Amino acid sequence: MNKAFTKETDRDDEDDAEGGGLPPLPAGTKNYITPQGYQRLRAELLDLIDNERPKIVEVVSWAAKNGDRSENGDYLYGKKRLREIDRRIRFLTKRLDIAEVADPSAHHGNDQVFFGATVTYANAKGEERTITIKGIDEVDNLAGEVSWVSPIARALLKAREGDEVQLTTPGGAETIEVLEVRYPPPGG
């Protein structure tokens, strides 16, 4: 089919909300993030702008000079990668603009659960688990980090050591007990 009759767009605004797999922020909430998470996202943004994007632009420019672009793999892949980078740059810029940096070390020594806490809790069966409550853009599930908007974090927020809270799970309500609350030391 002739390209004139196909709908193609370089705008991928629908993907901006996803940010490369990250969930959108709930409406009307702040984008809380730790200072370390903010620095990591900012470093990624600067790397994309200063290093990654210029390299791809150079490859696309070189490939464009080689003639027939419709069958030029370097050109086609480069343009696709450039759109991905630009999408990620737009996403990071938007998220960093609305980021609310919250330093968890301000609560060091406190036994109440707030943003940035590392919480050890046990369920009714006595199974213990430790999680760290972080910003939606910086969580690493494999490292035991959860977003502050996740069900477990929302159940634990404002609870104190020794408190029992209700966690709503797909299998029904579950009672969990807060065993320990820790925060990083100031300056650490």
CA nearest to 95, candidates 125, 150, 137, 65: 137
| Residue position matching structure tokens 């960093």 | 96
Q: CB–CB of 136/183 below 8 Å?
A: no
State residue 21's pLDDT score: 53
Q: Strands (DSSP E) along the chain, which ranges?
A: 31-33, 99-101, 118-122, 128-134, 145-147, 164-169, 172-182
Give the CATH number of domain 30-101; options: 1.10.287.810, 3.40.50.720, 1.10.287.180, 3.40.50.410.
Answer: 1.10.287.180
State residue 8's pLDDT score: 45
- Second CATH level (architecture) for the domain 104-182: Roll (3.10)
Domain ranges of the chain: 30-101, 104-182
- Say whether pTM exceeds 0.75: yes
State residue 9's pLDDT score: 47
State residue 118's pLDDT score: 95
List the pLDDT tens digit at each of the 188 positions of the chain. 444 444 444 444 444 444 455 567 777 778 899 999 999 999 999 999 999 999 999 988 888 887 777 777 888 899 999 999 999 999 999 999 999 999 999 998 889 999 999 999 999 888 999 999 999 999 998 999 999 999 999 999 999 999 999 998 888 899 999 999 999 998 75
State residue 91's pLDDT score: 94
State residue 18's pLDDT score: 45
